[in-house]
Structure 1
Amino acid sequence: MSTDAEFADARHIPPIPPQPPRRPDPAVTPGPEGDPQTAVLRRIPAEPPVPAPGAPAAAHPVPPRPTVPPPAAGAQPPPRPDRAPGPPAPAAPAAPTPPPPAGRPAAFRDTAAFHLANSQKLWSDPRERGAGSGAGAPPAPRNPAPAGPPPAPGSGPTGPAAARPPQVPWPATAAPHRGVVPGAGAPAMLRHPSGRRPGPRLLGAVACLVLGIGLIGGAAAGSWLSDEADAAPATAAATFAKGRDVWHNTPADRLFPRTVNGLGVGPGGADRTWTRIAVAPDSGCGGAYDPKLAAALTRAGCTRLLRATYADATRTSVITVGAQITKTDQPGMRALNTRFSTKSLGTRTDLLPLPYAAKGTPAEDFGRAQRASWTVRILTDIPVVVYAVSGFADGRAVAEPQPAEEAVRPGATTAPAESGLGHDAKGLADRVGTDFRKAAGSPTQTTEASS
């Protein structure tokens, strides 16, 4: 019984059988026309047989490899010593020369590495984009080559011009307007698209815009200047002159309001409310005063007389308030006020203004005998004489009328004082005088002596 250890010795390994001898080549070797490989390739001799162990050396050693380069295509092979010379081979037609390889292999242009490496050039080179990106398309030169000899083989496409794809021209950038050099960061809207001068329509629009801005600025400046002029304090002469025209420049509702609220002006500090019931048309001063009062006011002159009649909230008292626009100047108004104050012309019962008794109103029966209290104010900052006269709405007669300045004194027990008729005359005269001063733009409240 044998084991694997018995075959471990090299003496028990069977010998390798020898390779069969090489068959001799046929006597007649086909010519180049029969074997086209002979004209193109050189036959490589077979490897020599490996001698068996213990066998004698081969009779013929392996010849060395030839050092002469193979013959060119179409040339007759050199004669071999072990073959008989054959008939001469006919000259083969010259094979067409293959086109030289392109500048960039087609396989390389289809790879991601090629596109990543040449993406910037492909985007910035218009000729490269125009030539296309197909396989085998060579890159177009950035600058056209000058006229001269043809380029070296392999530097450009050799096909006909009709076979190449047409090059799409890249849109040209419009030239900037003459005299305007846009900066590197200037927006595209600053560059004129056509490179021409703006037309008359655009110039007209720009001119209208500039004119409109100028008009708006001028109006704003004028308003600002007028506001400053209005804010500046007016002079006494300007205020006096303006007061002469308030009777026809100011609405009647501003000079004689429809409703007048007197806070704390009634007897004992009570609130009073008066409602306008009639407004007399503006007229002259004839028939508005007792004869002696009219004579006292004659020196000042009379431009216009405005009157209105009010009733209190209870409709028990009626009050006529009037304003005479004088013709005198400011010194004449001061002199008139001094005369009334020093001679007590405003407290005399024979110098009373007359009421305005409008028909169909609670003041219809308001006449001379119904006058209970009155006041006359000579304004010195504007040419206006303000007066007020009050009485009972039921038409009762008053035997002894009392001036308003006396009827409003604390402790007065007369009928005008206890009924509040003195407060009505004084309160309405003060309000109308204030309204006339506001209409004239008087800066201060002037206090005149009570008349």
Structure 2
Amino acid sequence: MSFAEPELSGARTRPRVGPRTVAAATCLVLGLGLIGGAAAGSRLSGDDGDDAARTAYTAAGALWHSVPVDQLFPPTVQGDGAGPGGADRTWTRIAVAPDGGCAHAFDPLLARALAPVGCRRLLRATYTDATQSHVTTVGLLFTKADPAAMSALAARFRDERLDRRPDLMPRPYAAPGTAAAGFGDRQRASWTLSVLTDAPVVAYAVSGWADGRTVDEPQPAADAVRDGAATAPAQAGLGNEAKGLADRVERRLRKTIGTATEKPA
């Protein structure tokens, strides 16, 4: 039979600490250190996704007055693989509309559909292809809307397929004395329209023949570029003209937004 050691008078016994307790405490300290370090690193580097998105959105809304027109609508646009069958395209700018509001720039139904996001500024330019047989107007509508409103409008256009309705086609910009002088509402052959959600911008393009011929059945570019499309706009490649030019102007816009929000090294 054995007995515990007697407790000395006035002395404190030291509790025994097992190896598991020590390991747990060590992990806790290390974990807190890692979390704190990550938070501090995030603050120091400014790596906050939400803040970056808000900054880019705000910067995009101011581009209409802070960026030269040649940066958004360059004098020449290369469309590698943008034509029917993957053919290359080259578009030359022949006219730039004075920037302004949206009055008379859209058909009434399209103006009504876009009304919820407002109109801060509208920029437009018209291009022709290398043969000067096609003309295409491309536009950037800078809205007054916040991200939630742009997302709601994009969802409506997508769900209701508003971008496919001929009565919601954008209007062209016909400049006197150019190949687009006769490019009016009845000459619209194909079009595309995109509501951006990461910028307060609606981008669009509308194409037609440069000889002023009228079009009885315009076709959205998304349908005209499909294999087997047999309409006159599709066979002429006017869907490719609208889609190809709109895509490249939208890419330049996004690149410009990225440049405007870059932080100095």
Verify same fold: TM over 0.5: yes
Tell me the distance in 1 between the aligned counterparts of 2:170 and 2:105: 6
Give the structure with higher Rg (CA): 1
1:303 aligns with 2:120: yes
Structure 2 residues not aligned, in runs of 5+? 1-43, 261-265
RMSD: 1.9
- After superposition, residues 183-332 of structure 1 pair within 5 angstroms as 235-332=52-149
Tell me the distance in 2 between the aligned counterparts of 1:399 and 1:250: 38
1:428 aligns with 2:249: no
Secondary structure of 2:189's counterpart equals strand
Where does residue 351 of structure 1 map in the other structure? 168
Counterpart residue type for residue 237 of structure 1: R
Structure 1 residues not aligned, in runs of 5+? 1-227, 444-451
Where does residue 22 of structure 2 map in the other structure? none
Evaluate the alpha carbon distance shift between residue 240 and residue 292 of structure 1 in structure 2; reply closer, same or farther with a 3 A threshold: same
Q: Given that residues 239 and 442 in structure 1 are in contact (C-alpha distance below 8 angstroms), is that contact kept between their aligned partners in structure 2? A: no
Q: Given that residues 381 and 442 in structure 1 are in contact (C-alpha distance below 8 angstroms), is that contact kept between their aligned partners in structure 2? A: no
Q: Given that residues 240 and 383 in structure 1 are in contact (C-alpha distance below 8 angstroms), is that contact kept between their aligned partners in structure 2? A: yes
Runs of 4+ aligned residues of structure 1 deviating over 2 Å after TM superposition are: 228-234
**TM-score if structure 1 supplies the norm length?**
0.46
- After superposition, residues 381-396 of structure 1 pair within 5 angstroms as 381-396=198-213
**TM-score if structure 2 supplies the norm length?**
0.78
1:362 aligns with 2:179: yes
How far off its partner does 1:437 sit? 1.4
Counterpart residue type for residue 406 of structure 1: D
How far off its partner does 1:440 sit? 1.6
Secondary structure of 1:425's counterpart equals helix
- After superposition, residues 40-59 of structure 1 pair within 5 angstroms as none
Evaluate the alpha carbon distance shift between residue 352 and residue 237 of structure 1 in structure 2; reply closer, same or farther with a 3 A threshold: same
Where does residue 31 of structure 1 map in the other structure? none
Evaluate the alpha carbon distance shift between residue 425 and residue 229 of structure 1 in structure 2; reply closer, same or farther with a 3 A threshold: farther
**In percent, how many aligned pairs have the same letter?**
58
Secondary structure of 2:163's counterpart equals helix
Tell me the distance in 2 between the aligned counterparts of 1:360 and 1:280: 14
Secondary structure of 1:350's counterpart equals helix
How far off its partner does 1:232 sit? 9.1
Counterpart residue type for residue 178 of structure 2: T
Counterpart residue type for residue 219 of structure 2: Q
How far off its partner does 1:230 sit? 10
Tell me the distance in 2 between the aligned counterparts of 1:310 and 1:330: 30
Counterpart residue type for residue 389 of structure 1: V
Counterpart residue type for residue 152 of structure 2: A
Counterpart residue type for residue 381 of structure 1: D
Where relative contact order (Cα < 8 A, 6+ residues apart) is larger, the structure is: 2
Tell me the distance in 1 between the aligned counterparts of 2:82 and 2:257: 25
Evaluate the alpha carbon distance shift between residue 230 and residue 311 of structure 1 in structure 2; reply closer, same or farther with a 3 A threshold: farther
- Structure number with higher strand proportion: 2
Give a deviation string over 1:361-389, Cα, whole Å, max 9, x none.
Answer: 00000001100000110010000000100
Secondary structure of 2:254's counterpart equals helix
How far off its partner does 1:441 sit? 1.6
- After superposition, residues 51-70 of structure 1 pair within 5 angstroms as none
Counterpart residue type for residue 245 of structure 1: A
Q: Given that residues 325 and 385 in structure 1 are in contact (C-alpha distance below 8 angstroms), is that contact kept between their aligned partners in structure 2? A: yes
Where does residue 440 of structure 1 map in the other structure? 257
How far off its partner does 1:315 sit? 0.3
1:380 aligns with 2:174: no
Tell me the distance in 1 between the aligned counterparts of 2:234 and 2:47: 43
Tell me the distance in 1 between the aligned counterparts of 2:139 and 2:47: 31
Tell me the distance in 2 between the aligned counterparts of 1:271 and 1:303: 35
Q: Given that residues 264 and 271 in structure 1 are in contact (C-alpha distance below 8 angstroms), is that contact kept between their aligned partners in structure 2? A: yes
Q: Between Structure 1 and Structure 2, how many residues are aligned?
A: 216
